């Protein structure tokens, strides 16, 4: 399983309780695959648990895009049956997530992965970091196109929605690296999943 331990960046310099906003969206996180959480674990920190790598990666990417978070992904065993909250849960994935979030606070893109196979986890962290670097260079117009393509629209339909030419959408998509991201995500999910080795 996969545990995300997420810590607000520079929470001492912000008066906003960003964790409260995440907790208000608990039902949405559950619909998107979380099997436990989000639950506050400290003043500016919360946890989520995912049974699959795809959900964990999607959540991590969402958090890095839309909030000032350090995100640690821990892979490994979580004791069953799951309790009602992450605070009552136990397992090596929780310990790994703690290690990962501490590393994420020092990482360039504030995301790190930890697992029993430390070398493999470091490799997955680096690969996700490459994707985050690509996304960090994406313009607002590029994000508009990326979001519409993620909804399943064709480039022609996205152009119509945005009121621009299909050629303009094609140029924006290329500059945004949307195809590269689309092709990379399944490989990243497989790499992350490979870290969840049964004891």
pLDDT given for residue 199 in this prediction: 55
Report the share of the chain in percent with pLDDT over 90: 92
User: DSSP class of residue 97?
Assistant: H
Q: According to CATH, what is the number of the domain 2-117? A: 3.30.70
Contacts for 7 with CB less than 8 Å, ≥ 6 apart: 42, 44, 45, 69, 70, 72, 101, 104, 105
| CA distances from residue 193 to 59, 85, 93, 115, 196 in whole angstroms, order as listed | 15, 23, 13, 11, 6
Confidence of residue 198 (pLDDT cuts 50, 70, 90): low
The residues spanned by each domain of the chain are: 2-117, 139-176
Could you tell me the pTM of the whole model?
A: 0.93
Predicted confidence (pLDDT) at residue 104 exceeds the cutoff of 90: yes
> Tell me: the pLDDT tens digits for 51-93?
999 999 999 999 999 879 999 999 999 999 999 999 999 999 9
**Is residue 5 scored above 70 in pLDDT?**
yes
Calpha distance 177→134 (Å, rounded): 7
Residue 17: predicted pLDDT: 86
Phi, psi of 117 (to 5 degrees): -85, 90
pLDDT at residue 148 is higher than 70: yes
């Amino acid at each position: 399983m996969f545990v995300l331990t997420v810590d607000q960046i520079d929470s001492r310099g912000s008066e906003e309780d960003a964790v409260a906003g995440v907790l208000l969206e608990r039902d949405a996180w559950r619909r998107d695959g979380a099997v436990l959480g989000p639950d506050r674990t400290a003043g500016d920190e919360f946890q989520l648990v995912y049974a699959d790598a795809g959900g964990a990666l999607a959540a991590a990417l969402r958090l890095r895009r839309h909030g000032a978070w350090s995100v640690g992904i821990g892979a490994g065993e979580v004791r069953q049956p799951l309790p009602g909250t992450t605070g009552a849960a136990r397992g090596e994935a929780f310990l790994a997530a703690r290690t990962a979030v501490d590393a994420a606070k020092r990482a360039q893109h504030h995301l790190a992965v930890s697992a029993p196979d430390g070398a493999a986890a470091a490799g997955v962290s680096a690969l996700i970091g490459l994707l985050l670097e690509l996304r960090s260079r994406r313009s607002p117009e590029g994000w508009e196109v990326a979001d519409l393509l993620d909804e399943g629209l064709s480039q022609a339909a996205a152009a119509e929605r945005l009121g621009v030419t299909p050629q303009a959408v094609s140029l924006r998509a290329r500059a945004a690296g949307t195809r590269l991201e689309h092709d990379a995500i399944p490989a990243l999910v497989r790499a992350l999943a490979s870290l969840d080795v049964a004891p």
